Structure formats: structure tokens, C-alpha cells
Structure 1
């Protein structure tokens, strides 16, 4: 865990919201980091697919930072914001925030940058459509 001062409010659009359950825990009883990354990839993929107007594939996950644990019962909210587009790819900043079940505190727990490429049905890259 890093000791960074979190920002006050989420950046981007609320893209996915779920509750963390006991089945999602690691051996220490906190929510498993892989589950968190999976939720972030689902949310980012949804945003990427909408912008690309079709299929996309995750090609990179960079700068993942875990600021605080997620606990069973926390309301998990994932926010996405496109920060860069290329000819066939787009990169977005993804933040995971929780509302603590016990305290109602709102806290950013994870953030990272996800890159996607637009693909045809065959899996070959294709250009992003104009906005």
C-alpha cells in the first residue's frame, strides 16, 4: 500500500458498481487484487467498446496503484476517463473508489491506466471511428 493523499472526488464517468463479497477475498480476508483489476478491466472495456463502436482488446495495464484495501461489504465503484486516443488504440485512466459499509467514508483505493485496441471480428486491428 502506498501512503499517498487521495483526491477528494472521483474523476471520469461512473462505469461499474458492485458490492465486494466474501467469495472475492484473499487469504488475509481483504478483497483479492486480481478481482479488483478484473472489475477495472470490465469497466474500462465497456467505455473502450462504446468509443470504438465495436470490439476491443486490452493490450496494456500500466501504473497500477493500490492505495488501500477493499473490505467485504464495501460498495465498489469504478470510474473511467479516456485520456489519449491514437489511430487504433485508446488509453484511459481508471479509478476504483469504495464507500465503506461501516463508516460511509468515500475513498479511492486503486487506480491505473488501461490501453485498448479496436479490433475486427477476426481479431485484426482496425482504426477508431471518428467521434
Structure 2
């Protein structure tokens, strides 16, 4: 939740933030093994150097689609810049970032040191793993079946993502067959402070529905 609050605050203010405190965090429901955990963050107030970010955590049953709210809380984020810096911009309700609006799924992550290679950029294998996760979740939410990865097509890496950058993944189901479907996944890198976005990678993930014993089966939905 803290990471999601940090990303939301940084995208809003485009400066360095730290968590000063958090309030009203009540854990109401558990997220069970195998659930999809969905975090959403909204900036609800902005001062000269601080923000309040509301974070909601929901759990979704992969096969039924049933969703429950697990917890929510308010994170108070403070800019670590000097007091003479320009104040934060005015909060305008309803504003959204320039994300993929037609995607079936979006996942946002940060690049930490353990995720990088010796060049200080996102390790390709880790990036591909994140893309595969997006493909798996999007395919499961689309047909509510147990899905496994069968193959990848047209995988291309065009640009790196540096340590400290945002990885913004969007996934869209582009084909549904009898037993399999195709998910097109795009990976965009975003610089934390400038907001500059770069198209970094894309791939088609072929996902197959499986039943008992891991054998392929027809997609029912």
C-alpha cells in the first residue's frame, strides 16, 4: 500500500516524497492464496508540500470474479525538497494520467536495485516475468478458467527502464479461440520526476485453459 501511495504522490507532484504517517488502516477481510490483489490509489488533498493519498486494497477470486475490500487507509506523503521550492499544483478532481484507456488490465511497478542488470536497467528476464503475469491475470479475468502460458510471439524490447523508474504494463485480450486466447502486453517506462514515458517492450502471450490433470480444455466463457 505504501508503494502504491508513493507512486500516486510522485506522479501527481513530480518530486521526491516520503511517507510521513498513515491513518485509518483497518483490515476487514483477508486476501487468500491464489487471489488477485488489486491496489488503487487516489490523491484526495494537496497542500504546499504534502499530499493525502487514499489507498484501497481489494481481493478478487480468479475463477468467480467475486471481489471483496480487504483494507483501505490514508497515507500522508511529504515532499523532501527545500521549503523555497514551488508549491504543489492544485488538485483537480477526476484527472487521470495518460495511461492505456482501452486495456483490460494495468499493472504498475517500481524498478528496484535487485531488478536490474549490471547496466542499472531493468533485467530483461524480470521485465518478461512481469509481462507474463499481466498476460496470465488478463486471460484469467476474461474467461474465468485456469490458464497456463503456452508460448510467446513477436516479443520485442525497444528501450531500457532505469533503476527508480516506473514500469507501466497494459494487457488486452486480442483473440479468443476454442481452448486458447492471445493477450497483447505492452510495457512502458516512466521517469518518476519528469513523467517522460517510453514504449519499451511488447509481446503476444498465448494462454491455454487447462482442467484436471493439467490437460487443455475448452474455454466455457
TM over 0.5: yes
Task: Name 1:91's counterpart in structure 2.
Answer: 182
State the 1:9 CA deviation. 6.2
Partner of residue 148 from structure 2, selected from 51, 57, 64: 57
Give structure 1 stretches of 5+ with no counterpart. Answer: 1-7
2:202 match: 111
Equivalent position SS for 1:122:
helix
**Cα deviation digits, residues 61-112 of structure 1 (max 9, x gap):** 1111111101111111110111111100000110011211242102211101
4+ runs deviating over 4 angstroms: none
| Structure-2-length-normalised TM-score | 0.52
Q: CA RMSD in A?
A: 1.6
1:13 deviation in Å? 3.3
Partners of 1:43 and 1:21 in 2: how far apart?
A: 19
State the distance in 1 between where 2:155 and 2:129 align: 12
Asked if the contact 1:14/1:77 (under 8 Å) is kept, the reply is: no
CA–CA separation in structure 1 for the residues paired with 2:220 and 2:115:
37
**Cα separation, 2, equivalents of 1:22 and 1:13:** 29
The number of aligned residues is 123
